[in-house]
């Protein structure tokens, strides 16, 4: 599991940075990637990456401001034109379906794959046997949501030495034990998964927030997250400006990570006044003064999601 930023600027693109979009790559886990927000120019950024639109499984939209959604119609059309045929699910606030339907209808764009648009107002918005996604409302000028992606725990590894002691060879029995089933041995004993399995592998938690100023719902979304992605539009010297525009400072992002017990923090959504990586260093220093395990989002750079065992 890796996170790749396709845009890290706030409001409008600059010569150095694109507007908001990021991809959660889960090639080992699901053979696909999920996208969070899709600002204008996102498909150009994808061309510069190793991502393939045919592998895009889900899109999650935090809110309906243009710098987070203007790239959607083009990206959906490109996915179809490039031969993407697998179903695609899109999740976002009320109004996202009207935006997609209107854009595609007026432009006479044809989508050759099944597109399922799910509008939500928070809660559990997706769950299968591997992952659960929850969402909560944040505090912005319009409804903006954060997403908590929770990987489910996986069974521990089989102890091959113990299996050999029981006279068991590789085969279907291994799979049954991994699925949690008990096995009747020839001598009448019952072999349970606990007899031969190591400790379960703890699932990772990734929290990706939309635009927000500090609010109560940030903490439950980010609680004990292995990785928290939080906007840091301004330095804290501009905290009044941040508050008035419903954004956060780098220091406020660090406070959220600390208070939630997050393991790592990546700050993003930078104001255009911070023109390049050199000008972003003060934001990084400010966040690290309170939360040392902070990184700056960099476009087209892979950030591994580390599994932190408590």
Contact between residue 58 and residue 126 where contact means Cβ atoms under 8 Å apart? yes
User: Is 230 one of the annotated binding-site residues?
Assistant: no
DSSP 300: T
Contacts of 304-308 with C-beta under 8 Å, sequence gap 24+, read 304/1, 304/2, 305/1, 305/2, 305/3, 305/24, 305/204, 305/206, 305/226, 305/227, 306/204, 306/226, 306/227, 306/263, 306/264, 307/201, 307/202, 307/204, 307/226, 308/204, 308/226, 308/263
User: Is 246 one of the annotated binding-site residues?
Assistant: no
Q: Which of 37, 67, 143, 226 is catalytic?
A: 67
Cα(144)–Cα(251) distance, integer angstroms: 21
Contact between residue 109 and residue 74 where contact means Cβ atoms under 8 Å apart? no
67 catalytic residue (yes or no) = yes
User: Is 211 one of the annotated binding-site residues?
Assistant: yes
Cα(192)–Cα(197) distance, integer angstroms: 9
As given in the structure block, the two tokens for residue 249 are 């400072």
As annotated, the active-site residues are: 67
User: Binding site residues, as ranges?
Assistant: 63, 65, 67-68, 140, 211, 269
User: Binding site residues for Zn(2+), as ranges?
Assistant: 63, 65, 67-68, 140, 211, 269
């Amino acid at each position: 599991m890796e996170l790749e930023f396709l845009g890290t600027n706030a409001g409008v693109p600059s010569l150095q940075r694109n507007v908001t979009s990021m991809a959660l790559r889960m090639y080992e886990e699901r053979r696909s990637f999920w996208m969070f927000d899709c600002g204008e120019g996102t498909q150009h950024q994808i061309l510069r990456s190793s991502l393939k639109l045919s592998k895009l499984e889900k899109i999650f939209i935090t809110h309906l401001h243009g710098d987070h959604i203007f790239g959607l119609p083009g990206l959906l059309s490109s996915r179809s034109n490039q031969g993407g045929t697998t179903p695609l699910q899109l999740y976002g606030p009320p109004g996202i379906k009207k935006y997609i339907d209107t854009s595609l209808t007026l432009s006479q764009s044809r989508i050759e794959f099944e597109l399922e648009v799910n509008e939500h107002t928070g809660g559990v918005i997706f769950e299968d046997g591997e992952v659960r996604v929850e969402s909560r409302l944040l505090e912005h000028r319009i409804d903006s949501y954060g997403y908590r992606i929770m990987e489910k725990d996986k069974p521990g590894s089989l102890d091959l030495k113990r299996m050999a002691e029981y006279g068991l060879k590789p085969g279907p029995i291994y799979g049954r034990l991994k699925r949690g089933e008990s096995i009747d041995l020839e001598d009448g004993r019952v072999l349970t998964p606990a007899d031969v399995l190591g400790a379960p592998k703890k699932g990772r938690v990734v929290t990706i927030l939309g635009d927000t100023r500090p609010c109560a719902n940030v903490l439950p979304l980010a609680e004990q997250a292995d990785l928290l992605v939080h906007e840091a539009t301004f330095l804290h010297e501009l905290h009044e400006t941040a508050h008035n525009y419903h954004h956060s400072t780098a220091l406020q992002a660090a406070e959220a990570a600390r208070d939630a017990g997050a393991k790592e923090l990546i700050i993003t959504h930078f104001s255009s006044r911070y023109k390049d990586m050199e000008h972003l260093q003060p934001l990084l220093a400010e966040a690290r003064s309170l939360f040392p395990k902070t990184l700056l989002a960099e476009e087209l750079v892979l950030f591994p999601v580390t599994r932190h065992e408590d």
